[in-house]
């Protein structure tokens, strides 16, 4: 991955790390499923009238809208609403890295290099260190909902990788047309019209700021760049970057609500960062060379 794409991946990780706090700000007023529906409505409109279709087929657009829109964020926001701490959610959601690499290997025959597998394993170990204390105290239902959200995101990653769009931003906009109706219906059935109506009379600037962040930065900018990277590189090369999100999310949660990262949080963040660097091939050229059959020149792993 060239330095420019690495810089883009870092920007996405920064945006997504703060995204969990922004979602909590929105849910101070709006019910979770309604917030998700509003998010994707604002992503799609009016942009869809000015952005050409992504050119990778309607099946892919619909699948992306259902997996990376309805499934991922309907489950994630509901988990946050039911008590999942923002810092822990940013951690657990990154299990999508493992899901993505496994699904890409099985469905797309994208075999990750040994150095990528080792790096992902180190990153997962770091995330376990970060979340150990929190996982022991986390409520079971929101925890499982967050894992399911991660699985839905992973399926979306593989869908996009299988049929890449002509550009990542167009897929974000057009797939956002698919998400609002199922989310609005779910909000009406589960959260109820009284809660929806009440939220509209209690709107605050903080809630609107949170909604604007998750719409225009996390969705339009973040997923636009993410889909662009998936169209350029294998899933196993892109997915590890999301492991940088938990340390950023922990810091954002501390600033927003005082969630203490503690010594384990700091240590785990360092381990995660090392794992991401290893997954990118930094300092692990020996592993990449070892993966290449004898008699063939070894391709150099990506570096900084």
The count of structural domains within the chain is 1
In a domain, 301, yes or no: no
- Residue appearing with tokens 């662009």: 228
pTM above 0.85, yes or no: no
In a domain, 228, yes or no: yes
In a domain, 296, yes or no: no
Distances (CA, A) of 87 to 73, 123, 219, 243, 272: 16, 16, 19, 13, 15
H helices of the chain, in order, are: 3-26, 32-44, 58-65, 72-81, 86-92, 96-107, 114-137, 140-162, 168-175, 180-186, 193-200, 205-212, 224-232, 235-238, 245-257, 262-279, 285-291
Tokens representing residue 221 in the block: 């900018």
Residues making up the chain, counted from first to last: 304
Q: Per-residue pLDDT tens, the chain, 304 aa: give them.
A: 788 998 999 999 999 989 988 998 999 999 999 999 999 999 999 999 999 999 989 999 999 999 999 999 999 999 988 888 777 777 778 778 888 888 888 898 888 888 878 887 887 787 777 667 656 666 678 888 988 999 999 999 999 989 988 888 999 999 999 999 999 999 999 999 999 999 999 999 999 999 999 999 999 999 899 888 988 888 878 877 887 887 788 788 778 776 666 677 677 767 777 777 677 666 554 444 444 444 433 333 333 2
Range of the domain at 33: 11-291
In a domain, 115, yes or no: yes
Helix (H, G, I), strand (E, B) or coil at 258: coil
Q: 242: Cβ–Cβ under 8 A, 6 or more apart, which residues?
A: 12, 13, 16, 94, 96, 97
In a domain, 148, yes or no: yes
In a domain, 303, yes or no: no
In a domain, 302, yes or no: no
In a domain, 298, yes or no: no
């Amino acid at each position: 991955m060239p330095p420019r794409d690495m810089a883009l991946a870092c920007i996405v990780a920064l945006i997504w790390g703060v995204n969990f706090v922004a979602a909590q700000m929105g849910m101070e007023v709006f019910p979770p499923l309604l917030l998700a529906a509003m998010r994707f409505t604002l992503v799609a409109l009016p942009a869809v009238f000015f952005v050409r279709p992504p050119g990778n087929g309607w099946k892919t657009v619909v699948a992306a809208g259902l997996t990376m829109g309805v499934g991922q964020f309907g489950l994630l926001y509901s988990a946050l609403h039911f008590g999942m701490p923002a810092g822990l959610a940013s951690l657990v959601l990154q299990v999508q890295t493992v899901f993505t690499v496994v699904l890409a290997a099985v469905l797309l025959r994208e075999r990750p290099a040994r150095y990528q597998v080792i790096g992902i394993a180190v990153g997962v170990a770091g995330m376990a260190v970060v979340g150990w204390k929190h996982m022991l105290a986390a409520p079971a239902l929101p925890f499982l909902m967050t894992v399911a959200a991660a699985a839905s995101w992973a399926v979306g990653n593989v869908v996009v990788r299988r049929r890449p769009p002509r550009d990542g931003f167009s897929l974000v906009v057009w797939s956002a047309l698919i998400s609002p109706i199922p989310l609005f219906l779910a909000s009406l059935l589960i959260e109820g019209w009284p809660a929806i109506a009440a939220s509209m009379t209690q709107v605050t600037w903080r809630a609107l700021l949170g909604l604007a962040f998750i719409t225009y930065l996390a969705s339009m900018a973040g997923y636009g760049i993410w889909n662009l990277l998936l169209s350029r590189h294998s899933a196993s090369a892109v997915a590890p970057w999301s492991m940088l999100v938990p340390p950023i999310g922990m810091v954002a949660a501390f600033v927003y609500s005082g969630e203490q990262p503690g010594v384990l949080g700091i240590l785990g963040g360092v381990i995660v960062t090392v794992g991401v660097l290893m997954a990118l091939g930094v300092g692990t050229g020996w592993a990449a060379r070892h993966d290449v059959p004898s008699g063939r020149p070894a391709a150099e792993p990506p570096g900084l």
